[in-house]
Structure 1
Amino acid sequence: MTTGKEHRMTSAASAADLAPTAYAWEIRATGLKVRAGRRRMAVDGLDLALGTGVHGLLGPNGAGKTTLIRALATVLRPAGGTLELLGESAGGRSGHRALRRRIGYLPQEFGYYRRFTVREFVEYMAWLKEVPKAEVPAAVQRAVERVGLADRADERMKALSGGMVRRVGIAQAIVNDPVILLLDEPTAGLDPAQRLRLRKLLQELGTDTCVVVSTHLVEDVAAACTDVVLLDEGRLVFQGTPDDLAAAGGPGHMGDSPLERGYSALLRGPGRERGAW
């Protein structure tokens, strides 16, 4: 049985690739500020450090989860503070082409060409991520197999269900064998069986990858994540294990499970009272 590290694609490595890892954390933010639009500071003074493992990103609507994911994907520039990805600064206006080759990203909604087959689309994304040409066929085949779409690889995207399209999105995010994998609501549109398979895949990927999963489904965090990050109003409210999150709540808090009650307790602490909705 191969390990995750043995499963990574082999390619010609530069001296920089072969050098010892020069960073303590795959993701490190200090006082990070990121705007959503021109005015609203959706991430406001965030301190966060994430390494190898599966990190569940939780929070109510408007908490700043998607804005944070987009900043980690280098789509948005920080408005303040510092953000380091794989030891490199992700701030400023300079390009991040080399850095993006090592990141996989699935946004909440991703664009695709409806007439492309699954294989053609994932191949195209591999090309954009500069996967070496000789390695593309094997990388694409492995990616579609890992999301359970090997038997649909030659079907056109327009013929797929919403859940299958979402799985293609996950395939394109992992085709470059990323060191940082960012998934924004990856279980949207997946049926229960598909969600179970995704949880297993996340656990496999988390053995040697820094995986950040934004989700509204607390049970997905319990099943797949080694670590939970809870945001509210752009700030860090909690970081710890799923067991730590469950221990934060009690019988008097809202929720149908210990995790949901812990989530409610942390969001309804002093100064965080909320209405019924």
Structure 2
Amino acid sequence: MRTVSAAETAPTTHPWVVHAEQLRVRAGRHLAVDGLDLALGNGVHGLLGPNGAGKTTLMRALATVVEPAGGRLTLLGESVDGRGDYRKVRRGLGYLPQQFGFYPRFTVREFVEYMAWLKEMPKTAVPGAVQRAIERVGLADRADARMKTLSGGMLRRAGIAQAIVNDPAVLLLDEPTVGLDPEQRLDFRELLRDFGVDSCVLVSTHLVEDVVAACTDVVMMNEGRLLFQGTPEALIAQGSEGDAGDSPAERGYSALLRRHRAEAAA
């Protein structure tokens, strides 16, 4: 019997978990992502930008829901170019869109189990993984309640549970805190930090303070292009007391947008 080396059993690593070069993605006829260059590794990355910046379209491309119209996109070392087999990539993804579908008569447990099955998780691993995911989002006491009976915040937490059930290497969350109360948002931030240790987490949100509190890296888009990438502290440093916003982070965000728009108009 051949001896298996440690290198053969070690987890696969990639220079960048997510890597985009001059990425272009359409939303209908509109080129919503236009020449984006982006590199993300493990950690929690907050995705900011005004409405229409291309955030949701980018998330959909990273989730392999829509195909790139041009440029290069690599996820977990696999090229995403519209021609490959995405099954391997999708097994390593977790995705919560802004609006997600579900069968109203499913219980929370059945819904998360169904999503685990779609992600081709090993059958023996599913029950334990489902229970852990439900507990991590604080829905253990509602695990056997039907989805149609849940409040808006509970539905959002069920959506987060299905996204994390497979312990994804890439976790994509589009406006995940909508409907969550302040206490739940604090718990969610802690969950993000835990996942960011071993996974690449990208969170799209309009809540700048959530990004500063939970993220190690800030990605800011406008008009389909990368406007800024850096630490929360670097974002804060972009602003001053005279800029619009109720917090240092919001002032940094608004200052970046103001300067970008002024340069575009010049």
Give TM class, smaller chain.
over 0.9
For 2:68, the aligned partner's letter is P
Against the structure 1 CA distance between its residues 17 and 138, is the aligned structure 2 distance closer, same or farther, given a 3 Å change threshold? farther
SS at match of 2:33: strand
5 Å-filtered alignment, 1:69-218, equals 69-218=59-208
Q: Which of 198, 210, 217 matches 1:227?
A: 217
For 2:150, the aligned partner's letter is L
What's the TM-score, normalizing by structure 2? 0.94
Q: Which of 24, 38, 46 matches 2:36?
A: 46
In the TM superposition, what is the alpha-carbon distance from 1:251 to its structure 2 partner? 1.2
SS at match of 2:64: coil
Structure 1: how far apart are the matches of 2:156 and 2:232?
26
Against the structure 1 CA distance between its residues 273 and 162, is the aligned structure 2 distance closer, same or farther, given a 3 Å change threshold? farther
In the TM superposition, what is the alpha-carbon distance from 1:18 to its structure 2 partner? 3.4
Identity among equivalent pairs (%): 72
For 1:29, the aligned partner's letter is A
Against the structure 1 CA distance between its residues 272 and 63, is the aligned structure 2 distance closer, same or farther, given a 3 Å change threshold? farther
5 Å-filtered alignment, 1:229-244, equals 229-244=219-234
The alignment of Structure 1 onto Structure 2 pairs a total of residues equal to: 259
1:34 is matched with which residue? Answer: 25
1:18 is matched with which residue? Answer: 9
Report the RMSD for the aligned CA atoms in angstroms.
1.7
Structure 2: how far apart are the matches of 1:273 and 1:197?
39
**Runs of 5+ in structure 1 lacking a partner?**
1-15
What's the TM-score, normalizing by structure 1? 0.90
5 Å-filtered alignment, 1:228-267, equals 228-267=218-257
Structure 1: how far apart are the matches of 2:205 and 2:260?
24
Against the structure 1 CA distance between its residues 177 and 270, is the aligned structure 2 distance closer, same or farther, given a 3 Å change threshold? closer
Structure 2: how far apart are the matches of 1:23 and 1:94?
18
Segments ≥4 residues shifted beyond 3 Å: 16-20, 270-274
**Runs of 5+ in structure 2 lacking a partner?**
1-6
Structure 2: how far apart are the matches of 1:217 and 1:273?
25
Q: Deviations over 1:211-248 (max 9, x none)?
A: 00000000100110000000000000100000100000
Structure 2: how far apart are the matches of 1:77 and 1:231?
19
